Structure 1
């Protein structure tokens, strides 16, 4: 029997939401073991004063195997 922990991450990118999500997963993969599921919860953008897109943001739930 296994237990999994779920954490929330926010990835950012100047390119796209897909790249923002990929950045978050890449960072999680470098410090967490046995990643299982990534669920995209929210997509948004940060804008400058003129209304231009500055960056894309992807909010993710990431689950990984819990080890004590």
Structure 2
């Protein structure tokens, strides 16, 4: 081996096992990173939807209960 040659390690994606470029900093390929981002985006949207429904139903129940107590 010459002085200017460096030994190159072949990196593989942690999830799917495809080969990564030697200058890649992470352990995942671009496809796996995109899948992970999309998954957590969907989880966040689902959580927001559930929270908004729960808050809406809570407000409706509170309105009905307080309206009955005030005698309106």
Return the TM-score normalized by structure 2: 0.24
Higher helix share: 2
The structure number with the bigger radius of gyration is 2
Return the TM-score normalized by structure 1: 0.25
Higher strand share: 1
Kindly indicate whether structure 1 or structure 2 has the higher relative contact order, using CA contacts under 8 Å at least 6 residues apart: 1
